[in-house]
Chain A
Amino acid sequence: MYSYSEFDEAFVRERVAQFRAQVERRIEGSLTEDEFKPLRLMNGLYLQLHAYMLRVAIPYGTLNGRQMRQLAMIARRWDKGYGHFTTRQNIQFNWPELRDVPDMLDALADVGMHAIQTSGNTIRNVTADHFAGAAADEIADPRPLAELIRQWSTDHPEFQFLPRKFKIAVTGSPADRAVTAAHDIGLRIVERDGAQGVQVIVGGGLGRTPMIGKVLAEFVPEDDLLPYLEAVVAVYNLLGRRDNKYKARIKITVHENGIEEISRLVDEEFARRKPMFQGVDQALLSAIRAQFAPPVFAEPQTTALPADAAFRSFYDTNTGPHRAPGYRIVTISLKSHGATPGDATAEQMEVIADLAERYGHDEIRISHEQNVILPHVPLHHLAAIHEALKDAGLSTANIGLVSDIIACPGMDYCALATARSIPVAQEIATRFDELKLEHDIGPLKIKISGCINACGHHHVGHIGILGLDRAGVENYQITLGGDAGPDAVIGERTGPGFAYDEIVPAIERLLRAYLDLREDRDETFLDAYRRVGMAPFKAALYPASEEARADAA
């Protein structure tokens, strides 16, 4: 994986020193909050409902053991002993005190990490497939491109004050585990005539106006990528609306101007910019690529895997095919039933760091689904890993099932939220664990957002839940049929929302209806929804209104 150059190190240290001085000036009174706020946001420091929150970038979700251990140390020393992994592959600390933040940033810099551009109207942390470099179905590891984009976009002088925030995701697999179609720019590595390039998708996004991105270029050769991206962002920077923050994202720019016009402007801009890139970016890319060389995989060993039910369930549910023979990708669930999705204690982070170092080529990934991945695990270490995870409360075998829920922090933490998300996720997970229906229901993605900004990706959940404030009471709308995969789909709203104490029973009715109507166990919830449509699910959700309709007829 990428390790900091002297330039990176000096740059990050200088930013910490600047911020330390800014914090001091705020506390002694020579900076007002209006002056200080943009400065703290540029360094990832938010003020939430109950406390400050520091959002730390985990570039394309990749970490090593030493970095994970440092996150544990930070959680223990300056926070409340835990961290929250987010849907953008970042980590958030929910309880820092203002005076401590510069020390936290210095501690991050000690392990080559930072919180720069995790807020503000800039290009944010670049996200990628969490199985990158390990997946059996991958064309190429997307992380060298993601790292190139990180370096290009960090402190890019032209793009520090964009009309709105800007998110880029990269996948190297046609399976698209990075939700590229719901990003401002989604990049998919593709091959043409034996050469690698990227398909560029633009104008996707969730939030109050959810849109699936449109293909801007079917194939951009790798050596044109940065000038092409720069052209796209430059066009947006001039054309994007600054008069209304709700219409400022590039999805609206694309919608209002049309993809053809955007394409024409980007091509013009690209022609101007391309000559300015004289190969430095490609030299840099080769150097980066060398740092992402795959580990030397061990020869496969004949291994008898444990036969006990808990291990089998873990193996079947939480591990997946690896590119190398004798290896598996292990997903560690941060969704034990009743726990807060995405939270890990300092002790758990240390266990994960140990396991990665001891058994997994020292590599860790964070997924946008708020789980942790050991990407390279030899089969013969799986039993030991499972035992260690069990002891740490990390062995829940629920990846891709009903309790593997994405949930934003919601009104338990977030100042923007209109309702809580976390307890809804906790109660759904607890309920279906009690019912012992989880494995029977099978693959299902529930995603919960506590406001219209959709950090919980509810629009692309097979079942999406959106928490709103309806006349001073929490109210939850349900959408069905969303899909975050390569052919991404925005879910459809079922009808009126449900009160806080009605939402879990509503989800139960919905899933019992699915179990009744599916053709067989192989027909997933999403397949069934696509076959039968909304009507039977609506009838299950709103039995009273169905009865009223029958009475009227």
Chain B
Amino acid sequence: MPRAFTPKVVTANALLEGDVVYLTADDRWTRNHSEAELIEDEAHAQIRLLDAEARAGEIVGAYLADAIPGPNGPEPVHFREAFRTRGPSNYPHGKQEGV
């Protein structure tokens, strides 16, 4: 039996600032993980990744990251992706800045 597909979000870094960004269902780039489009179908995920990669003037290094549904939207699964939603742990820099 094929393995169950883990839902995904499309993530990348913004070309100019380098910030971590996520693709929304309405084709915007958001800096907020919970606003990302949670993709539950593998074929659709590949298409959304292609969509993202076509926007090379806005982002760098798009890839699919595992995510799970949460009460306020998608949540990261792996600790690396959780760090990317916030910023480094030694200073309040990055996305956590000013939150």
Residues of B within 8 A of A32 (CB): 56
Partner of B93, one of A33, A95, A472: A95
Indicate if A412 sits at the interface (CB-CB under 8 A): yes
Residues of A within 8 A of B18 (CB): 47-48, 50-52, 95-98
Given contacts A33-B56, A47-B60, A411-B80, contact A27 B16 (CB under 8 A): yes
Closest to B84 in A: A49
Indicate if B61 sits at the interface (CB-CB under 8 A): yes
Cβ contacts A to B, 28 pairs, < 8 Å: A27-B15, A29-B56, A29-B57, A32-B56, A33-B60, A47-B13, A47-B61, A48-B18, A49-B20, A50-B19, A50-B93, A50-B94, A51-B18, A80-B93, A94-B93, A95-B93, A96-B18, A97-B16, A97-B17, A97-B18, A98-B16, A412-B89, A412-B90, A420-B89, A422-B88, A469-B79, A472-B78, A472-B79
Given contacts A47-B61, A98-B15, contact A472 B77 (CB under 8 A): yes
Residues of A within 8 A of B83 (CB): 49, 411-412, 420
Q: How far is B18's CA from A96's CA once the two chains are assembled, in angstroms?
A: 8
Closest to B77 in A: A472
Residues of B15-55 contacting chain A, CB below 8 A: 15-20
- Would B90 and A50 count as touching, CB distance under 8 A? no
A 329-365 binary contact with B (CB < 8 Å = 1; else 0):
0000000000010000000000000000000000000
Residues of A within 8 A of B94 (CB): 50-51
Residues of A within 8 A of B17 (CB): 51, 97-98
Footprint of B on A, CB under 8 Å? 26-27, 29, 32-33, 47-52, 80, 94-99, 340, 411-413, 420, 422-423, 426, 469, 472-474
Q: How far is B18's CA from A99's CA once the two chains are assembled, in angstroms?
A: 11
Q: How far is B94's CA from A411's CA once the two chains are assembled, in angstroms?
A: 14
Given contacts A32-B56, A47-B61, contact A99 B87 (CB under 8 A): no
Task: Compute the total of residue contacts between A and B using a CB distance below 8 Å.
Answer: 74
- Would A423 and B90 count as touching, CB distance under 8 A? yes
In angstroms, how far is the closest chain A Cβ from the Cβ of B77?
A: 7
Most B-side CB within 10 Å, residue of A49, A96, A473, A474: A49
In angstroms, how far is the closest chain A Cβ from the Cβ of B3?
A: 16
In angstroms, how far is the closest chain B Cβ from the Cβ of A14?
A: 25
B 69-99 binary contact with A (CB < 8 Å = 1; else 0):
0000000011110011001111101110000
Residues of B within 8 A of A472 (CB): 77-79
Residues of A within 8 A of B57 (CB): 27, 29
Closest to A426 in B: B90
Residues of A within 8 A of B61 (CB): 33, 47
- Would A474 and B90 count as touching, CB distance under 8 A? no
Given contacts A47-B60, A98-B15, contact A473 B79 (CB under 8 A): yes
- Would A413 and B88 count as touching, CB distance under 8 A? yes
Q: How far is B12's CA from A116's CA once the two chains are assembled, in angstroms?
A: 26
Shortest beta-carbon contacts, A-B, top 10: A412-B88, A51-B18, A52-B18, A50-B94, A340-B90, A422-B90, A29-B57, A423-B89, A98-B16, A97-B17
Q: How far is B91's CA from A61's CA once the two chains are assembled, in angstroms?
A: 26
Q: Residues of B within 8 Å of A, CB-based: how many?
A: 25
- Would A50 and B89 count as touching, CB distance under 8 A? no
Q: How far is B16's CA from A94's CA once the two chains are assembled, in angstroms?
A: 14
Residues of B within 8 A of A47 (CB): 13, 18, 60-61
Q: How far is B94's CA from A423's CA once the two chains are assembled, in angstroms?
A: 17
Residues of B within 8 A of A52 (CB): 18
Most A-side CB within 10 Å, residue of B77, B78, B87, B90: B90
Residues of B within 8 A of A423 (CB): 89-90
Q: How far is B87's CA from A48's CA once the two chains are assembled, in angstroms?
A: 11
- Would A50 and B15 count as touching, CB distance under 8 A? no
Q: How far is B16's CA from A165's CA once the two chains are assembled, in angstroms?
A: 27
Given contacts A95-B93, A411-B80, contact A50 B16 (CB under 8 A): no
Closest to B97 in A: A80
In angstroms, how far is the closest chain A Cβ from the Cβ of B32?
A: 14
Q: How far is B61's CA from A32's CA once the two chains are assembled, in angstroms?
A: 11
Most A-side CB within 10 Å, residue of B78, B80, B88, B93: B88
Q: How far is B87's CA from A442's CA once the two chains are assembled, in angstroms?
A: 35
Q: A29-B56, A412-B83 are in contact. List 17 more A-B contacts (CB 8 A).
A: A47-B13, A47-B60, A49-B84, A50-B19, A50-B94, A52-B18, A80-B93, A95-B18, A95-B93, A96-B18, A98-B15, A420-B89, A423-B89, A423-B90, A426-B90, A472-B78, A473-B79
Residues of A within 8 A of B88 (CB): 50, 94, 412-413, 422
Residues of B within 8 A of A50 (CB): 18-20, 84, 87-88, 93-95
Residues of A within 8 A of B78 (CB): 472
Q: How far is B14's CA from A97's CA once the two chains are assembled, in angstroms?
A: 10
Q: How far is B20's CA from A469's CA once the two chains are assembled, in angstroms?
A: 21
In angstroms, how far is the closest chain B Cβ from the Cβ of A108?
A: 19
In angstroms, how far is the closest chain B Cβ from the Cβ of A8?
A: 30
Q: How far is B60's CA from A413's CA once the two chains are assembled, in angstroms?
A: 17
Residues of A within 8 A of B15 (CB): 26-27, 98
Closest to A29 in B: B57
In angstroms, how far is the closest chain A Cβ from the Cβ of B60?
A: 5
Closest to B53 in A: A33
- Would B16 and A99 count as touching, CB distance under 8 A? yes
In angstroms, how far is the closest chain A Cβ from the Cβ of B63?
A: 11
- Would B79 and A474 count as touching, CB distance under 8 A? yes
Q: How far is B16's CA from A26's CA once the two chains are assembled, in angstroms?
A: 10
In angstroms, how far is the closest chain A Cβ from the Cβ of B35?
A: 18
- Would B19 and A51 count as touching, CB distance under 8 A? yes
Q: How far is B20's CA from A241's CA once the two chains are assembled, in angstroms?
A: 35
Q: How far is B84's CA from A50's CA once the two chains are assembled, in angstroms?
A: 6
Q: How far is B13's CA from A420's CA once the two chains are assembled, in angstroms?
A: 20
